[in-house]
Amino acid sequence: MNSSGLQDRSVVFGGIIVVISLIFIARLAHLQLISSDWSNYAGQLTEERETLDPMRGQFLDRNGELIVTNIASYDLLVTPRNTKNLDTIALGRLLGIELNELIRRLDKAAAYSRYVPSVLEKQLSAMEYAKISKELMLFPGVRSRTRSIRSNVAGVAGHLLGEYREVDRADMKNDAFYRLGDYKGKSGLEAKFEKELRGVTGARFHIVDVRNNVQETLNELDTMPIPGKDVTLTLDLELQKYAEKLLNGKRGSIVAIEPETGEILAIVSSPFYSGNSLTGKRRGLVYDSLRLHSWKPLYNRALRGTYRPGSIFKMVQGLIALDEGVISTSTVIECDRSIIGCHGPHTADDLTNAITHSCNPYFYEVMRRVVQRGKSENKLEDASLGLSNWNLRIKEFGFGTNLGGHIPGTRMGSVPNSEYYDGLYGKNHWGYSTIYSIAIGEGELLTTPLQIANLAAIIANRGYFREPHPVRDIGGLGKPEGLDSLHNMSVPSRYFDPVVNAMQNVIEDPHGTGSRARVNGITICGKTGTVQNGDLEDHSVFMAFAPRDNPQIALSVYVEYAGSGGDWAAPIAGLLIEKYLNDTVANLAREERVITFEYE
Amino acid sequence: MSSRKYSIFKNFDWTTLSIVALMMFFGWINIISATSNIEIVEWLDWSGKGGKQLMWIFICSGLGYLILNIESDFFIRTSVLQYIFTLILLVAVLIVGKKIGGARSWFSLGSFSLQPSEFAKPTTALLLAWYLSRDSTKWRSLKVRVISFLIIGLPALLILLQPDAGTVIVFAGFIFVFYREGLSGNVLIVGFASLIIAITTILIGVTNVHYPYLGLKSGIGMFWILWVIVGAGAIYLVRELTVPRKRAYLTRWGIASIIWGLLISIGLHMGMENVLKSHQRERIHVLFGIDVNNPDADYNIRHAKAAIGSGGLSGKGWMHGPMTAYSFVPEQETDFIFCTVGEEWGFLGSSIVVLLFTFLILRIIFIAERQRSKFTRIYAYGVASILFMHLLVNIGMVLGLAPVIGIPLPFFSYGGSSLLGFTFLIAVLLKLDSERFSILR
């Protein structure tokens, strides 16, 4: 019938069909199994994901008092692909936005995504929102979203808590958690504990039709938001408030630590600002005014201010000298004012009196003995070896370190070592006579108010400190690990007695420089410091702890350009100690004097 | 009469009928999904498309039963009449037809519309089978070839006037029938080579080249010049490297190839630029990933691919595809019905559909080859070719492998005309096949 040649052609035809169907199946596999592009695109077209923001964790004080919480505000969102026939002129009028600005924002939103809602106007207060809410439905593609904003209800500790504000491009790129218009902690504790505070976002899924009308909700995919964890701070809200009140109108800082635990009880840098002033629509204006102010309110003096420690440093010198065995508690050194000046009518002191009198020649000699140990024939090399040892011992007290860095923004200050002077003068080109000013806390030494408060804690504890930290508890899980690492000084605790005695004398001696810190019924130990500023007024510095036995509070007070340590820092310290230990302040005259302080 | 009936069911190809029935059922299921929202199922709502399709399935079952009970001679003897009748319909539709979607392809009969081109396919297949199976017809004769091409060319031309490019392409599928009946295999090779040249022409046609003294012009001119130069060089090389005896033959073929390629390329390019409307040109450009200015040019195919791609391995489940339910894919119950399959039944479901079609067409080829009757064989090849072209163009389109050309997916797409047409094709084939032992034609 058929020639077999033609019949074979059925195989060719069949083969073509099989090849085509295999191509189709391969294409199906590519579209459906291998590539997720088309599936994602379909999701983009049909699914609308509504993000449910979690409540951000709150900040509480050590007693559970509320410091920072969240209050409702309203954002207006725009979904660009739904804005057909949007009356931009009417919308601009309703929102009080210039037309050009409104169009710029709409373009920005469209550039970000046509499908994902973007923020058009943010943080309307409940009052503002109430005015416009009724008319909002007239504008297609525009809807509102309730969003909580930060409210520092206590109005304190702006520096420590830091800023909570809108994410930038880099934030969104680094962490998919954030979308345009989201907020995050940008500095301070808000930033440090961002992951704990922010919680987990929930989502509600809708399916939309080709005209973007919501058609159904996919409940099985929905997730509820998980609120952020509350952070309990170590701050004592009353003390913090009082500290801010006392420093108001002054430049300076206060750091108060619970000596036994290293917990920060109060930390103030003045001038300060309320955390609330940096939220909301006016943030930009407020920020600029803070940035440009000559007193630098954004600068956290408590952590970042570096000052020469002055007389306060003499106690550390004495403790190290005792432990090095170059003096004993009874060693008396003549007040030889030929090399270095002194003040007051003393002629020769032991350690306690030398601290009380703040005797410069005494500590010149003490540090000379520490540094010049005769370990080398060459005097200059001997000084270099001695200084290296001294440097390590000073750092043990936390100077030149960030003290664990548990408070964001902590600076290290500086404690010079041999290499530092080698760099300055050349190796073996300097001796003790070149560097002796550091013996009395001057020269190249730089310390921060936090380090000085920590020194007060070390002396209060007679030889140890726990790293200062601002957090007691996160989400009820207790104190995070590693916050309060223990540091034991190699100076034995018995050597602290003469220092503590001297510090008590500073307060209680009729001629003591810290007598203005005295509080009836509380044995306070303190030490004044006076940081010279050339032609300008000195910085008034005071460190103290109280009570002498079983100390509850250790602190440093700095008042810049205010005079000697006893004049202003000491009474402020006294008031704070009285407030913290007695809950009330009896010495109202002192309080009045401090509060009415004015720079000349 | 009774012995004839007995023979029908004895030699009846149940396999083919089962596949077709399965396809109709599965198609109906998908039409319901494509035309309902997720909440509202238009089950047996006779006004809905699901209900209407079911009604058409019943009508087609009746038609099929009727055909199986008609003497098969009837189809052979009336093939000329039927062909002429459909030609008249095709002419009539151009005059009194209703214009839907830019094409005058429909007779409007109250609430129903009939598409005569759907019936032109089976009648053309019948006439071709009748003509080529006559004892006097020899494929080698030029006259036979010309008449054969005229048989498919006449309805194709009338359909082109509607215009309905998709159905015209289906008519091109009859080339496989000719191939089986003796057309040189070179035709397929030439066709394939022409396709490659055509694709190259389209891709190069959109490039711009800076010509000295002429400025920026389409790169296609450069392509034509290079085509001739490189082609001439190739012929020269081949001439030098082959034995003298073959030189004349190869040269002749080479020159013919160069001219043929050039003609195709020039013709296609001119056609693209001057004949096609801009939206048609865009559809072709979209297919080749060429950037078109109109962002909605690839809207259909983008949404089609998204619907299919989102199906994953096993799909979202019947009535659970949002792309399908909320009308993201246009024409999703007719030409784009395969998107619903892809979205709701996933890779497994859509692969099964592709395999079902493959199996059906291979089965028909198998049926064709077991015939003693030349008429039945040629007719069966016609049926296989038509189904194959529909598969190729329709699924190729929704998968983004072929340009957007609207033709239905047999037995799946919603629509009475196409279902009647395909039922007629298959039923006549089954009738003829059932008599494969009883009649020797």
pLDDT digits (tens, 9 = 90+) for B302-311: 888 888 888 8
- Residue A514, phi then psi, degrees to nearest 5: -105, 20
- What is the rounded CA–CA span in Å between residue B120 and residue B151? 11
- Is residue A158 in a domain? yes
Which chain B residues have a beta carbon less than 8 Å from that of A10? Answer: 180, 365, 368-369
pLDDT at B216: 67
What DSSP line would sit under B212-240, residue for residue? Answer: TTTEEEETHHHHHHHHHHHHHHHHHHHHH
Place of tokens 């206590």: A154
Residues B81, B175 within the same domain? yes
What is the tally of structural domains in chain A? 1
Residues B34, B138 within the same domain? yes
- Is residue A17 in a domain? no
ipTM of the complex: 0.88
Distance set, CA A517 to CA A356, A449, A462 (Å) = 15, 18, 21
- Is residue A201 in a domain? yes
Best-predicted range by mean pLDDT among A478-487, B110-119, B211-220, B385-394?
B385-394
- Is residue A30 in a domain? no
- What is the rounded CA–CA span in Å between residue A362 and residue A358? 9
- Is residue B82 in a domain? yes
Residues B241, B374 within the same domain? no
Sheet holding A553-559, edge to edge: A263-270, A252-258, A553-559, A536-546, A525-533
**Contact criterion met (CB < 8 Å) for B312 and A39:** yes
> Is B314 near chain A, with CB under 8 Å?
no
Of B270, B287, B304, which marks where a domain is finished?
B287
> Is B179 near chain A, with CB under 8 Å?
yes
Listed by number, the residues of chain B in 68-107 with a beta carbon closer than 8 Å to a beta carbon of chain A are none
Which chain A residues have a beta carbon less than 8 Å from that of B395? Answer: 24
Average pLDDT over residues B70-89: 92
Q: Which amino acid is at B370?
A: R
- Residue A74, phi then psi, degrees to nearest 5: -125, 130
Where are the extended beta strands (E) located within A373-485? Answer: 464-466, 471-474
Q: What would the pLDDT profile of B193-242 be if each residue is shown by its tens digit?
A: 888 888 888 878 777 777 777 766 777 888 888 889 988 898 888 888 87
pLDDT at B33: 85
| 3-state DSSP assignment of residue A334 | strand
Nearest to A47 by CA among A223, A212, A182, A176: A212
- Is residue A431 in a domain? no
Q: B215 is in which domain, residue-wise?
A: 207-287
What are B343's two structure tokens?
């979205």
- What is the rounded CA–CA span in Å between residue A286 and residue B216? 58
Nearest to B11 by CA among B422, B370, B415: B370
Listed by number, the residues of chain B in 21-50 with a beta carbon closer than 8 Å to a beta carbon of chain A are 37-39
What DSSP line would sit under B238-271, residue for residue? Answer: HHHHS-HHHHHHHHHHHHHHHHHHHHHHHHHHHI
The answer on pLDDT for B296 being more than 70 is no
Do the beta carbons of residue B402 and residue B144 sit within 8 Å?
A: no
> Is B234 near chain A, with CB under 8 Å?
no
| 3-state DSSP assignment of residue B301 | helix
Listed by number, the residues of chain B in 385-404 with a beta carbon closer than 8 Å to a beta carbon of chain A are 388, 391-392, 395-396, 399-401
Please list the rounded mean pLDDT of every run of 10 residues in chain A (600 residues): 68 92 93 84 74 84 88 83 81 85 87 78 79 81 79 83 84 80 84 87 73 63 81 92 90 92 91 72 76 82 87 89 88 85 83 86 89 84 87 90 86 88 86 85 88 93 92 88 88 89 87 85 89 84 91 92 86 92 88 84
Decide: residue B359, CB within 10 A, 0-12 exposed, 13-18 middle, 19+ buried. middle
Q: What share of chain A is helix, strand, coil (3-state, %, to 5)?
A: 40, 20, 40
Residues B167, B307 within the same domain? yes
Chain B nearest C-alpha distance from A223 (Å): 21
**Contact criterion met (CB < 8 Å) for B401 and A23:** yes
- Residue B61, phi then psi, degrees to nearest 5: -60, -45
What are B348's two structure tokens?
């497994």
Average pLDDT over residues B154-177: 90
By Cβ distance, the residue of A32, A42, A46 closest to B313 is A32
Do the beta carbons of residue A309 and residue A445 sit within 8 Å?
A: yes
Of B266, B287, B308, which marks where a domain is finished?
B287
Where are the extended beta strands (E) located within A417-512? Answer: 464-466, 471-474, 486-488
Do the beta carbons of residue A462 and residue A493 sit within 8 Å?
A: yes
By Cβ distance, the residue of B309, B362, B401 closest to A14 is B362
pLDDT at A211: 61
Residues B275, B322 within the same domain? no
- Is residue A409 in a domain? no
Residues B395, B333 within the same domain? yes
Closest residue of chain A to B355, computed from CA coordinates: A21
- Is residue B340 in a domain? yes
The answer on pLDDT for B131 being more than 70 is yes
Listed by number, the residues of chain A in 7-36 with a beta carbon closer than 8 Å to a beta carbon of chain B are 7, 9-10, 12-14, 17-18, 20-21, 23-25, 27-29, 31-33, 35-36
What are A472's two structure tokens?
């007691």
Of B261, B287, B313, which marks where a domain is finished?
B287
What are B395's two structure tokens?
């699924």
| 3-state DSSP assignment of residue B212 | coil
Residues B321, B245 within the same domain? no
Q: A216 is in which domain, residue-wise?
A: 50-233
The answer on pLDDT for B400 being more than 50 is yes
By Cβ distance, the residue of A36, A43, A209 closest to B327 is A209
pLDDT at B45: 60
Size of interface A-B (CB pairs under 8 A): 129
Computed over every residue of chain B, the mean pLDDT equals 85
| 3-state DSSP assignment of residue B196 | helix
**Contact criterion met (CB < 8 Å) for B328 and A210:** yes
- Is residue A82 in a domain? yes
Residues B327, B364 within the same domain? yes
Chain B nearest C-alpha distance from A218 (Å): 11
Decide: residue A47, CB within 10 A, 0-12 exposed, 13-18 middle, 19+ buried. middle
Q: Which amino acid is at B76?
A: I
Which chain A residues have a beta carbon less than 8 Å from that of B393? Answer: none
Q: What would the pLDDT profile of B338-363 be if each residue is shown by its tens digit?
A: 999 999 999 999 999 999 999 999 99
**Contact criterion met (CB < 8 Å) for A13 and B365:** yes
- Is residue A408 in a domain? no
Closest residue of chain B to A212, computed from CA coordinates: B326
| 3-state DSSP assignment of residue A554 | strand
Which of A11, A27, A30, A36 should be substituted to probe chain B, the one whose Cβ sees the most B Cβ atoms within 10 Å? A27
CATH code for position A159: 3.90.1310.10
> Is B355 near chain A, with CB under 8 Å?
yes
Which chain B residues have a beta carbon less than 8 Å from that of A21? Answer: 354-355, 357-358, 391
- Is residue B194 in a domain? no
> Is B336 near chain A, with CB under 8 Å?
no
What is the tally of structural domains in chain B? 2
**Contact criterion met (CB < 8 Å) for B310 and A33:** no
Residues paired with residue A256 on neighbouring β-strands, in sequence order: A266, A555
Residues paired with residue A553 on neighbouring β-strands, in sequence order: A546
Distance set, CA A269 to CA A273, A312, B17, B294 (Å) = 9, 20, 89, 61
The answer on pLDDT for B3 being more than 50 is no
pLDDT at B289: 63
- Is residue B132 in a domain? yes
Distance set, CA A197 to CA A56, A152, A158, A192, A200 (Å) = 5, 15, 17, 9, 9
Tell me which DSSP letter residue B272 carries. Answer: I
pLDDT at B61: 95
- What is the rounded CA–CA span in Å between residue A564 and residue B388? 101
- Greater model confidence, B119 or B206: B119
Neighbours of B77 (CB within 10 A): 12
Tell me which DSSP letter residue B8 carries. Answer: H
Which of B287, B316, B323 should be substituted to probe chain A, the one whose Cβ sees the most A Cβ atoms within 10 Å? B323
- Is residue B198 in a domain? no
Average pLDDT over residues B406-425: 92
Place of tokens 């008599």: B435
pLDDT at A2: 44
Residues B39, B83 within the same domain? yes
